[in-house]
Amino acid sequence: QYGELEPASLQFGQLLRKPLRRYRFTYKESRSLLFLYLLKTNRPAAEGVLRKLDASERARVVGNILGAIPRVDLQGTIGAICKELKTCEIQNHPALNDYSVLNVICREKSLDAGIASCVARHLEVTPSALVKLLTSCAEEERVEQLYKVAKRSGKLSRDFFSSLILDRHRRRDHAGVLDAFVEMVNAGIKPTTEAYGAPVKALAEEFDVVRFRLVRAKLASVLDLELKHLLLEELHGDANGFKAYDSVLLPNTGSIPKDDQKRLILGLCRKIVTLLLRKRDEESFLSFATGLLRVGIKPPVAVCHRMLKISFQHRRYGQCGWIFRKALSSPKRVNADIVEVNMKALLMRKKYVALLKLNERLGEIGVQRTDSILLCVLQARGALGDIVGVRHCLKQLESSSHVFKDSEPFNPALRTLAFHKESSVYRDELIENIVRKSFKYSEQTVVIMVRGFARSRCLTEMRWWFDKLVVRPRVAVTVLPDVIKAYVDEGMSRDVPGLIQSLELFDPERVQFRVTLDAYRGDIESALEAVKSGPRKRIQLGVLLKCLCERNDVDSIRTVLREMNDEKMALHDNRVASLLTTMIRHDCLEPVEEVAKYSTNWKVIQLTDNAVMSSTMMSGDYPHVVETYDPRSGSRGCYTMEQYAMLIIALCKVSRTKEATSMFDAMRDAGLRLPGVVWR
């Protein structure tokens, strides 16, 4: 610092040789003189200058003395400063009292002793003196003692709080920073920019959400627009500063005029979004942009699109819909890219009706239907079984130059349309479009075609599509049971061993499909022999029981269960639950309780109850259902949705409509979705 002052000393050396007039020196010149004053070689000349200044100039010069002294040198130089000030004939100046207080306190061993000495000499410890003393303290313990003294004497000022907060922030005492800041606001003192920036930075480093909310609540009445702008300029380049924006700044913009608020937010968006995207911090970017939307501030279109893409990549499909609804409130902010991402999210959530409603609104919004949007609409209409809509989408895609990467967009239409009797006439048309539009078939497409043709008993087409899976045995394994069942039902079971042999399967898988073939043929003895002699007995046993459940072969199931008891074989809980689900699906309800004995898992017990109750309902014994499952009896614990639905139906059947209506209303009020049969 002193090296930079040498030109100033030469300059003022020339000035001193000229006659001095009133108001000759500016503020900067006076400050330069104070630096000269601190230099030993120029001190006599500086004393002469001070003597020649009038009272107002002298007060301005004296008020900046501490700013010119290095902090570490204050205690060593305060005595000399006081001596020189007294010789300059400014004994009546208020600043001299503060310097005298500092001189007395610095010479004492403790702070309390120094204050007592000041009182004895009739020196008032003013708030400005406390601030000067605080800036001179290097020890943490002395700072805290000084804070207690100021608090006890009621002399806590804005400058004192600001100095205290900055001192604690330098020592990384984040808790102390926040405590001092909150106490400052509680006292009705408006914080300076520096005092506000310290707790924000401290919170950003630790990201303490609870304390963030505390500070935000305290700031609601004291933080004005100008202070926010200053803080924005200070923090926008800080690596951690972005964490303060959505948690502290944004929720307090409600009281700001709209024009100023818009100016603030636009500047905030530009800086923060750029910072976060440059750092590739997607989580923080999403949190910040979502905070903007929550307080009613719509970010630019590019930001909305990026938010949707990141949410979709992170599989937050519900959040995609929320972002889109917020952006849709201003149609000018919606473009085809935003609509496309939202439609893909709706497809993942199976919200097909909502997707089609959005498609109908595209003209109103002013968004043109791109090929990607048409593909989403094609999948939604296919999933809903809308034959006319699917054909319309295909015609629109034919007129476009879109190149399909694979056959994936056709899968919903194939799954719902191609293999139903009323829509089988469109099967060839769909397949023709797939062949013409796609360069390759996706695995899922081939699986759908194989299963569809197997259930339609079109063995030639089934085998043609199945041959495409020979090179992908892991996928072929998933559809092989359907293929085996189709061959057995058509009396062509002799072709199955060759089919299994053509695939590169592991030995346990070969045994599994041999068991499947024997089960579908009704050859229980051969199937049991294969289970006993092969590996993974429990898995093979589960496969055998599942095939028998699909055939609704109750006698064979009981034969296998007796064999299990004799051989002391058991099933895994998950396998028992899967078997019970298959039994319920295929209305094979008689041996349910016998199978359920092999597990005590809660899921198995729940499925067993559902199956037994379904069996009783199918037999028409509604009074028995009401008597057994009436909640007022207290004999049972919780109920599943299916059990509640069946109980309501049974109550209606026995003319206890008041109880049924009461239960129905309670479930509806709880937000539960009841099946259509219950409504009827």
Residue 325, domain member (yes or no): no
> Which pLDDT tens digit goes with each residue over 161-195?
777 777 777 777 766 776 777 677 677 776 665 66
pLDDT number for residue 455: 80
* Separation of CA 483 from chain center: 44
| Pair of tokens at residue 357 | 């409603």
Of 643 and 24, which is predicted with more confidence?
643
Angle 30-35-41 from CA coordinates, rounded to 5°:
120
Which one, of 586, 611, 617, lies nearest residue 596 by Cα? 611
- Range name among 158-167, 170-179, 441-450, 660-669 with the lowest pLDDT average: 170-179
Average pLDDT over residues 663-670: 76
Q: Which of 169, 439, 501, 170 is nearest to 180 (CA)?
A: 169
Check: CB of residue 99 under 8 Å from CB of residue 82. Answer: yes
Q: What is the mean pLDDT of residues 216-223?
A: 44
Between 212 and 441, name the one with better pLDDT. Answer: 441
For residues 185-206, average pLDDT: 61
pLDDT tens per residue across span 22-33: 434 454 555 545
What is the C-alpha separation between 16 and 47, in angstroms, rounded? Answer: 11
Examine the pLDDT at 114 and tell me if it is beyond 60.
yes
**pLDDT above 50 (res 558):** yes
How many domains in the chain? 2
Mean pLDDT (whole number) for 79-103: 59
Written as one string, the DSSP assignment of 434-485 is: HHHHBSS--HHHHHHHHHHHHHTT-HHHHHHHHGGGTT-HHHHHHHHHHHHH
**Rg, C-alpha atoms of the chain:** 42
Residue 290 pLDDT: 74
Q: List the structure tokens of 532.
A: 């006993």
Contacts of residue 226, Cβ cutoff 8 Å, sequence gap at least 6: none
In a domain, 116, yes or no: no
| 598 within domain boundaries | no
Spatial neighbors of 390 by CB under 8 A, at least 6 apart, are 378, 381, 382, 413, 417, 426, 430
Give the domain-ending residue among 440, 457, 481. 440
Domain boundary among 399, 422, 440: 440
How does pLDDT run across 263-295, given as a tens digit for each residue?
Answer: 555 555 555 666 666 666 677 777 767 766 776
**Measured distance CA(537)–CA(569) in Å, rounded:** 8
Output the six-digit token pair for 445.
């497409």
Q: How many other C-beta atoms can be found within 10 angstroms of the C-beta atom of residue 639?
A: 17
HSE at residue 445, side-chain half, CA atoms within 13 A, is 18
In a domain, 379, yes or no: yes
- Which of the listed residues 398, 419, 440 is the one where a domain comes to its end? 440
Q: Does 16 or 321 have the greater pLDDT score? A: 321
Confidence grade of residue 1 (pLDDT, cut at 50, 70, 90): very low
Give the per-residue pLDDT at 74.
Answer: 52
Angle among Cα 208, 189, 110 to the nearest 5 degrees reads 85
End-to-end CA distance of the chain: 90
- Residue-level pLDDT at 680: 76
Q: What is the pLDDT of residue 246?
A: 42
- The 10s digit of each residue's pLDDT in 347-384 is 888 888 888 888 888 887 788 888 888 888 888 888 88
Tokens 């194939």 — which residue? Answer: 414
Give the position of tokens 């209409």.
381
527's tokens: 């199937």
Task: Say how far apart CA 390 and CA 423 lie, in whole Å.
Answer: 12
Tokens, residue 401: 């130059």
Higher pLDDT, 113 or 318: 318
Which structure tokens are listed for 259?
Answer: 């024009």
Q: Specify if 413 maps to a domain.
A: yes
Phi, psi of 560 (to 5 degrees): -65, -40
Please compute the mean of the pLDDT values over residues 654-677 and round it to a whole number.
76
Nearest-CA neighbor of 301 among 344, 278, 330, 280? 330
Structure-model confidence comparison of residues 384 and 160, the more confident one: 384
For tokens 């599942």, name the residue.
546
Q: Torsion angle, CA of 350/356/357/362, rounded to 10 degrees?
A: 130
In the predicted structure, residue 153 carries a pLDDT above the cut 70: no
Classify residue 36: in a domain, yes or no: no
pLDDT grade, residue 577 (50/70/90)?
A: low
Return d(Cα 231, Cα 215) in angstroms, integer.
Answer: 15
Helix H or strand E segment including 164? helix 158-170
Is the per-residue pLDDT at 144 higher than 60? Answer: yes
> What band does 222 get if pLDDT is binned at 50, 70 and 90?
very low
Residue 289 near residue 273 (C-beta atoms within 8 A): yes
Tell me, yes or no, whether 521 lies in a domain: no
Distance, in Å, from the CA atom of 95 to the CA atom of 62, rounded to the nearest integer, reads 7
Three-class secondary structure of residue 190 per DSSP: coil
Its pTM stands at 0.48
**389 is in which domain, residue-wise?**
369-440
Per the model's pLDDT, the better-predicted residue between 261 and 395 turns out to be 395
Specify the DSSP class assigned to residue 348. Answer: H
Q: Which of 68-77, 252-261, 335-344, 424-433 has the highest mean pLDDT?
A: 335-344
Distance CA 199, CA 231 (A): 12
Q: Percent of the chain beyond pLDDT 90? A: 0
For residue 219, being part of any structural domain is answered with no
